[in-house]
Structure 1
Amino acid sequence: MQNDEAKILLGFPPNSAPSQSQIKSAYRRKVWETHPDRFPPQLKAQADSNFKLLSEAYTLLNSSGGSRRRAPTAAPYYSKVVRTGVPNSKGGRGSMRVASAPFLLIIFGALALGGSTASRAYQRQKEAHPCFNPFLP
């Protein structure tokens, strides 16, 4: 298969130069229209061959990207991690704190509220179903 045939299969004029995004959207649209699972069993063989041709055309146009002019890509963004802290008596940086106060308040608050909720549920159950067995709580 040649480039012109592949462009025609995807719905482009033979002398056009579609971008990667145009090729991708045309391929997705055509695949949706010609997928073999959308056809009755007696037409699946023809649909399957059309589907394979579309896939081959997309691969050909996608791989021949060197002939087209591509947009410049952005340079990757790198960040530098810097550890800051107050110098300690040995001349090095201070150690990192284990946890800050708001974090600890959230943790201890959740534990306290969870415990009180469980305690209230236990009391309600005890009131609803009293047990006179001295060995059970």
Structure 2
Amino acid sequence: MEQESAKMLLGLAPNSHPSQSQVKDAYRSKAWETHPDRFPAHLKSQAESNFKLVSEAYTTLLSSAGGATRRQSVQTAAGASSYYSQSRVVIKTRVGRTQTSMIRVASLPFLFIIFGSLTLAASTASRAYKTQKEAHPSFNPFLP
């Protein structure tokens, strides 16, 4: 797909040079308008083809809009990978510990609810069984 037709499809000016954020904003609005789930069943096939065209236009413009910037950021990250990898590990460790402790604290009430309901169900079943046994005694040696 040509860049000019992709710009027009996303609603951008044909002679403009949009940034990545402008392309993303235009794509989000067009994707919302043309998403197949928003249309009735008899119009879904047309909506799907329009949605695919919008997605193709987005990838075309995104590759041209941020190609140089993306290459520079990848090269910068590759050059400073040892520095960033060490600080990322520390951040992940701290966040991981915090999230784990929060999950444990948040799961306690649910555990109490589950074990309480199981205990209540067991006691109710036991009482029902004893009442049934007293009302209808069985002389079969194979039944309790």
TM-score (norm 2): 0.48
TM-score (norm 1): 0.50
